[in-house]
């Protein structure tokens, strides 16, 4: 047994889970009219309602004890201080420094990283201003109208999510495109819409070796050079964001067009660095700085708020409650609104790449569940797709709902229909519908019924939801929201005692596909792999 599962607190939580297994949230609400007041928190204008969770007055104190016993306070201090908590890669984890407006020196390995950060931010401002104003022009002298971010994983999901979420803040001068997949259709379909004379490519890759990104970058460069019939055009149409200067120069991008960042920024935490350059190129640098400010304020709050009033800590503990004691395998993220439609995919990488680990920080196999499967999409679409399973399936799916209180659009009824669906769903998931209620309804309607029909119409309810409500999806609020979620993932990793900041699990598949690549260059049948891989390769050679 690990020290976590062996601890008295873990055992108490198990026992407490058994005690409350039969309790229903609808009774908890009926018995306590102050439940919402007691179980909701505010940070800035973000309201976090966690009252619709399967918790009693005993639950949070026990979970908080678990957090204390995991040395959470020390681990938070280590994160912010730049300690090399990513032990397997011997790296600090300092995405929080990227959004710290402070100019006082922050020394890491002999460098003042605050000075480095602010110098890159300044370069981002100068460049994005020049593109927006038309001062930066393409090779033939035309102003830039389109920016294509070529990157994948953290070098795509974060910037894309933010650009799409903040569309109402777009300056309107630049159309933003994101190409990540090596499947050629994505790049081709994007290029087909573009004029090479007015297109700027942003090659976003921490390593500048990622196969998908480099393959797309080479093809984009060939398209540009062939179309403009000028190899020299690359200088005006390609910029790079990377930690690997040598590789960028080898690719042929002007060293002046490199936006630097550092190995202490993890890919999935990198939108705050120059990896986010596509953001100011769409909404302007002032708005990008608002995003950073919102995140910084959330960092300060996370560092300083007592655990029992600390939104990321409570989010993390509730997640552990369901993941480790109710055996919930997944967690749904359901933003109600179009602009946050990429938030679930962004969170999926952040959470699953961080906490999808089966060994602890010392390399010992864990004997408890770690990160959940994170999934979701924008509401209300899901209501007509998978909510059936959440309401009446056999799996417990805790959900997060997010919704702004206002909209910048004014079509009649749309807004209130959206809001009432969010409210209706969270209420239905909590209270469900009993057999007696169903019977009564059928009788009132004068319908014929049998027990089978009643059972089919029963909703068990008791399904936990968190709700985030905020006034406007502004750059600042979005920055805060993302940072709150980042810290949630951190707290869970800290309690599970895992390294949330490496991603060794993505390596094997990459290596094996590298070995297979040459096999596809000819039509000879292969026999050297397992029979399934041989069979698949040989059939592909037959049908291609």
Residues 77-116 contacting ligand F6P, CB under 6 A: none
With CB under 6 A as the rule, give the number of residues binding ligand F6P.
14
Closest to ligand F6P by CB, 152 or 494: 152
384 is catalytic: yes
Interacting span for ligand F6P (CB under 6 A) from 108-116, 151-159, 289-297, 382-390:
151-159
Residue with tokens 């209420």: 427
The mark string for 350-369 relative to ligand F6P (x by CB under 6 A, - otherwise) is ---x----------------
Residues 503-522 contacting ligand F6P, CB under 6 A: 503, 506
Closest to ligand F6P by CB, 215 or 330: 215
Closest to ligand F6P by CB, 154 or 284: 154
- The token pair that represents 475 in the structure block: 């750059």
- For residues 321 and 299, what is the distance between their CA atoms, to the nearest angstrom? 24
Shortest Å distance, C-beta 505 to ligand F6P: 9
Report the 10 Å Cβ neighbour count for 263: 15
Residue 210 binds ligand F6P, judged by CB under 6 A: yes
Catalytic residue among 353, 357, 476, 488: 353
Of 340, 203, 219, nearest in space to 277 by CA: 203
Residue 267 binds ligand F6P, judged by CB under 6 A: yes
Residue of 82, 138, 154, 344 interacting with ligand F6P (CB under 6 A): 154
- For residues 468 and 496, what is the distance between their CA atoms, to the nearest angstrom? 25
Shortest Å distance, C-beta 192 to ligand F6P: 25
- For residues 537 and 311, what is the distance between their CA atoms, to the nearest angstrom? 50
CB 336 within 8 Å of CB 418: yes
The mark string for 118-137 relative to ligand F6P (x by CB under 6 A, - otherwise) is --------------------
Residue 205 binds ligand F6P, judged by CB under 6 A: yes
Q: Where are the beta strands (DSSP E) in 340-464?
A: 373-375, 399-404
Residue of 62, 64, 85, 152 interacting with ligand F6P (CB under 6 A): 152
Residue 206 binds ligand F6P, judged by CB under 6 A: yes
Shortest Å distance, C-beta 96 to ligand F6P: 18
Shortest Å distance, C-beta 268 to ligand F6P: 5
Longest dimension (CA), the chain: 80
Interacting span for ligand F6P (CB under 6 A) from 21-29, 127-135, 147-155, 224-232:
147-155
Q: How many CA atoms lie within 13 A of 60 on its CB side?
A: 18
- For residues 143 and 131, what is the distance between their CA atoms, to the nearest angstrom? 8
24 is catalytic: no
- For residues 417 and 425, what is the distance between their CA atoms, to the nearest angstrom? 12
- For residues 370 and 348, what is the distance between their CA atoms, to the nearest angstrom? 14
Angle between helix 475-496 and helix 311-320 axes, rounded to 10 deg: 50
Interacting span for ligand F6P (CB under 6 A) from 70-78, 112-120, 202-210, 424-432:
202-210
φ/ψ of residue 108, rounded to 5:
-140, 120
Shortest Å distance, C-beta 158 to ligand F6P: 9
Residue 213 binds ligand F6P, judged by CB under 6 A: yes
- The token pair that represents 22 in the structure block: 């039969």
107 forms bridges with which residues in the sheet?
112
Catalytic residue among 58, 193, 440, 510: 510
- For residues 282 and 275, what is the distance between their CA atoms, to the nearest angstrom? 14
DSSP class of residue 381 equals: G
Residue of 52, 99, 164, 268 interacting with ligand F6P (CB under 6 A): 268
From residue 468, alpha-carbon distances to 43, 279, 414, 443, 534 in Å are 10, 24, 20, 38, 50
510 is catalytic: yes
Closest to ligand F6P by CB, 355 or 477: 355
Preceding omega of 380 cis (within 30 degrees of 0): yes
Closest to ligand F6P by CB, 153 or 461: 153
Interacting span for ligand F6P (CB under 6 A) from 192-200, 201-209, 292-300, 370-378:
201-209
Which residues are CB-contacts of 333 (< 8 A; sequence separation ≥ 6)?
A: 343, 344, 347, 348, 374, 375, 376, 399, 400, 402
Shortest Å distance, C-beta 253 to ligand F6P: 15
- For residues 94 and 264, what is the distance between their CA atoms, to the nearest angstrom? 6
Shortest Å distance, C-beta 207 to ligand F6P: 3
Catalytic residue positions, numbered: 353, 384, 510
Positions touching ligand F6P (CB under 6 A) are 152-155, 205-207, 210, 213, 267-268, 353, 503, 506
């Amino acid at each position: 047994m690990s020290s976590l599962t062996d601890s008295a607190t873990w055992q108490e939580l198990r026992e407490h889970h058994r005690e409350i297994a039969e309790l229903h949230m609808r009774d908890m609400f009926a018995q306590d009219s102050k439940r919402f007041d007691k179980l909701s928190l505010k940070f800035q204008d973000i309201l976090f309602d966690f009252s619709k969770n399967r918790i009693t007055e005993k639950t949070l104190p026990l979970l908080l004890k678990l957090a204390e016993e995991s040395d959470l306070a020390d681990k938070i201090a280590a994160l912010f201080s730049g300690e090399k908590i990513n032990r397997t890669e011997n790296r600090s984890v300092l995405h929080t420094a990227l959004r710290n407006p402070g100019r006082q020196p922050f020394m890491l390995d002999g460098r003042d990283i605050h000075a480095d950060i602010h110098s890159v931010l300044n370069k981002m401002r100068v460049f994005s201003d020049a593109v927006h104003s038309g001062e930066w022009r393409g090779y033939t002298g035309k102003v830039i109208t389109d920016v294509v971010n070529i990157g994948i994983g953290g070098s795509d999901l974060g910037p894309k999510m933010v650009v799409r979420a903040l569309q109402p803040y777009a300056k309107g001068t630049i159309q933003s495109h994101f190409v990540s997949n090596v499947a050629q259709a994505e790049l081709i379909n994007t290029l087909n819409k573009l004029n090479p004379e007015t297109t700027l490519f942003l090659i976003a890759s921490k390593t500048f070796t990622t196969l998908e990104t480099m393959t797309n970058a080479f093809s984009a460069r060939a398209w540009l050079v062939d179309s403009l019939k000028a190899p020299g055009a690359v200088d005006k149409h390609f910029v790079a964001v990377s930690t690997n200067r040598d590789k960028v120069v080898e690719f042929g991008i002007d060293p002046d067009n490199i936006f630097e960042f550092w190995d202490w920024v993890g890919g999935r935490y990198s939108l705050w660095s120059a990896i986010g350059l596509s953001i100011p190129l769409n909404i302007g640098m002032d708005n990008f700085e608002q995003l950073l400010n919102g995140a910084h304020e959330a960092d300060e709050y996370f560092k300083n708020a007592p655990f029992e009033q600390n939104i990321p800590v409570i989010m993390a503990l509730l997640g552990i409650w369901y993941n480790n004691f109710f055996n919930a395998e997944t967690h749904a993220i359901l933003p109600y609104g179009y602009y946050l439609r990429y938030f679930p995919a962004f969170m999926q990488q952040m959470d699953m790449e961080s906490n999808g680990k089966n060994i602890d920080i010392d390399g010992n196999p864990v004997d408890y569940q770690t990160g959940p499967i994170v999934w979701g999409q924008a509401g209300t679409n899901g209501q007509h797709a998978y909510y059936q399973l959440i309401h009446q399936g056999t799996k417990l799916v805790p959900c997060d709902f997010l919704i702004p209180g206002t909209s910048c659009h004014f079509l009649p009824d749309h807004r209130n229909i959206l809001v009432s669906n969010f409210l209706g769903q969270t209420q239905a998931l909590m209270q469900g519908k009993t057999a007696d209620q169903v019977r009564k309804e059928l009788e009132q309607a004068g319908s014929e019924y049998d027990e089978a029909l009643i059972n089919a119409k029963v909703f068990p309810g008791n399904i936990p939801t968190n709700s985030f409500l905020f006034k406007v999806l502004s750059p600042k609020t979005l920055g805060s929201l993302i940072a709150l979620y980042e810290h949630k993932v951190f707290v869970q990793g800290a309690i599970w005692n895992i390294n949330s900041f490496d991603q060794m699990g993505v390596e094997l598949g990459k290596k094996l596909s590298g070995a297979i690549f040459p096999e596809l260059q000819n039509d000879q049948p292969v026999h050297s792999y397992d029979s399934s891989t041989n069979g698949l390769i040989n059939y592909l050679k037959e049908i291609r």
